[in-house]
Structure 1
Amino acid sequence: MKIFARLRFYYAAFVISTVVSIMIVLLYLFPKHKPWILHTFNKVMIFLLGAKIETVGQPDERAQLYLMNHQGIVDIITMEALLDKNLRWAAKRELFEVPWFGLLLKNAEMISIDRQDRRGLIKLMKDVKESLEVMHRPVAIFPEGTRSRDQKLLPFKEGAKFIAEKFGLVVQPVVIVGSKQIVNEHEKTGGSGTIKVIFLPAIDVKKAPEDWYKRLHDDMQAIIDKQLSEHDVSR
C-alpha cells in the first residue's frame, strides 16, 4: 500500500506539472480568457487526480475575501475548480520563483507577499485594493500563513484581519478537508477520494464583533474536529 501511495504521489506530480505547463502557455496566448482557463483546467486536474469535490453550504456572492485552512496545493486546485470567481491568491514571494509554478502565478496575476519585508503589509493593502476596485477579483488568503502538518489550525496571521477591517470587507470562511488524501506533500503519498469544501456563513466585517477573527479560528477548528470524529475525514 505504501508503494502504491508513493506511486500515486508521483503520478499526481506529473499531472499537476503537465497541466500547469499547458495553463502557462494558454494564459500567455489568451490573456482575456484567464478566468475560463484557470477554472476549466483546474477541473481537469481534479478529474485526472481521481478526486471528487463535495460541498456543504453555499458561497456568498458578496464575498470579497476568502479565508481557508491550508494543507497543500490541492486546496488551491479545488477552489479554482469549484468557483468560477477568478480568485486572486496571495502567496509568499518564494513561490513566484519556483520553476513553472512561479510562471503560472505571475501570468495569472496573483499577489506576491514578501514576509521578510517590513513594507509587505503596505504592498498587500495596495494589491487588495487593486484587486477589488480595478481588477474586480476577490482575494484568497490562507490565514495560517503556511501548511499545517496535523489537525490543529496554526495561529492566524494578523495580516488578513487587518486587511478585512481596513477595507470593511465581506469575508467568506471556508474549511477544506480530505485534500491530503489526494496529495500529501509532507509524506509524498497520494490517492483518490473526496475533498469536502465547507462554506461557513459570510462575515460582514463592518458589522462583526471585535473578536470575529478569533471566533472564526475557533469555529473552523471545531468543524475540522467534527469532520474527523464523525466522518473520519482529516484535514
Structure 2
Amino acid sequence: MKIFATIRFYWGAFIISFNTAVFMIPALMLFGKHKSTIVHHINRLTLFMMGGKLAQEGTMDANADMYVMNHQGIVDIIGLEALQNNHLRWVAKKELFEAPWFGNLLRHGEMISLDRQNKTGLLKLIKDVKESKDLYHRPVAIFPEGTRTDKQPLLPFKKGSKIIAEKLELRVQPIVITGSKWVLNEHIKTGHSGTVKYEFLPSFSVKSDDENWFETLRKDMQKVIDDEFNNNHCSR
C-alpha cells in the first residue's frame, strides 16, 4: 500500500541522515586513516536497516581511474560504497558541499566539488581528477548524466567526463545500477525492501583518437538497462 511505502521512504531518509550525522562524520574526523573502511561498513549498515540488499554482476576493475554510472538517487552511492572498499572519490556538485551533514561528509571524505556555474569549473575538475590519480591514488566516481532522473532512458551525457578521460588518458569502467529507485524513490517519496544491482561492464583505456567511445559507452549502458527491465522487470 502507498501509505506503507511512504512510511518506508521517511524511515530510509531518517536512517541515512542519522547514520551520517551520528556515526559516519564523527568516525571520519576521529579515524581519518581508515576513511574507506568506515564509509564501507556504515553504508552496509545503512542499506541493511533500509531493507536493501546487493547484487553484483561482473568484476570491478581495481585499476580503473574513473567509474561512470547512471544515477537515480542517493542509494546509488550507498550501495556501491557498501559493495566495495576501493576508497572512491566522488564528484558532487558544489551545492551539496554547503548542505548540513552531507556537506561535512563530502569535505571530510575529500570528495571533489564541481561548480557547474563557473566557467573554470571544468579546469578545476581536470586538476582534481589528475590529483586523484597521481597523488592520492584514488579512483574517481562520476555520474555523466549530471543529475538524477526517474526515467528509463539515460539522459544525454555531459561532455566534461569525456574531456577529462581523454585529456588524462584514463582507464574507465562503466557501471549500470538498477533497483535503487525501488529501495528509495526520491521523486515520489516511496520506499521498499529490495535488491540494488550493480553490473560492471568491461573497462577500457581511453584513446583520444577514438571519437565515438563516449557515445558507445552510453549505448552499452542503455542496453543493459533495457535488458534488465525486459528480462527481470527491474527498472533503473
1:105-164 deviation digits (Å, cap 9, x = unpaired): 011010000000000001001111111111111000000000112101000000111111
Q: 2: CA distance between counterparts of 1:112 and 1:226? A: 34
1:199-232 deviation digits (Å, cap 9, x = unpaired): 0000211388320100011111111111111110
Partner residue in 1 for 2:13: 13
The one-letter code matched in structure 1 to 2:9 is F
Partner residue in 2 for 1:65: 66
Deviation at 1:185, TM superposition (A): 0.3
The one-letter code matched in structure 1 to 2:115 is D
Q: 1: CA distance between counterparts of 2:68 and 2:203? A: 10
Q: For structure 1, which segment, 52-61 or 114-123, has the greater mean C-alpha deviation from structure 2 after superposition?
A: 52-61
**Length-normalised TM-score, structure 2:** 0.97
Q: 1: CA distance between counterparts of 2:128 and 2:220? A: 28
Partner residue in 2 for 1:223: 224
Partner residue in 1 for 2:86: 85
Q: 1: CA distance between counterparts of 2:208 and 2:160? A: 19
Q: 1: CA distance between counterparts of 2:114 and 2:208? A: 28
Q: 2: CA distance between counterparts of 1:139 and 1:207? A: 19
**Length-normalised TM-score, structure 1:** 0.98
Aligned counterparts, 1:72-221, within 5 A: 72-206=73-207, 209-221=210-222
Q: 2: CA distance between counterparts of 1:71 and 1:41? A: 21
Q: 2: CA distance between counterparts of 1:228 and 1:63? A: 27
Q: 1: CA distance between counterparts of 2:113 and 2:41? A: 24
C-alpha root-mean-square deviation of aligned residues, in Å? Answer: 1.0
Deviation at 1:60, TM superposition (A): 1.4
The one-letter code matched in structure 1 to 2:29 is Y
Q: 1: CA distance between counterparts of 2:10 and 2:177? A: 23
Q: 1: CA distance between counterparts of 2:29 and 2:63? A: 30
Q: 1: CA distance between counterparts of 2:155 and 2:208? A: 26
Aligned residue pair count: 235
1:181-214 deviation digits (Å, cap 9, x = unpaired): 1100000100100111100000211388320100
Q: 1: CA distance between counterparts of 2:211 and 2:16? A: 41
Q: Where do 5+ consecutive residues of structure 1 fail to align?
A: none
- In 1, are the aligned partners of 2:166 and 2:208 still within 8 Å (CA)? no
Instruction: Report whether the alignment pairs 1:47 with 2:48.
Output: yes
- In 1, are the aligned partners of 2:65 and 2:140 still within 8 Å (CA)? yes
- In 1, are the aligned partners of 2:167 and 2:208 still within 8 Å (CA)? no
Indicate how the Cα distance of structure 1 residues 224 and 108 shifts in structure 2: closer, same or farther if over 3 A, else same: same
Q: Secondary structure at the match of 1:25?
A: helix
Q: Where do 5+ consecutive residues of structure 2 fail to align?
A: none
- In 1, are the aligned partners of 2:171 and 2:206 still within 8 Å (CA)? yes
Q: 2: CA distance between counterparts of 1:159 and 1:210? A: 15
Q: Secondary structure at the match of 1:206?
A: coil
The one-letter code matched in structure 2 to 1:180 is K
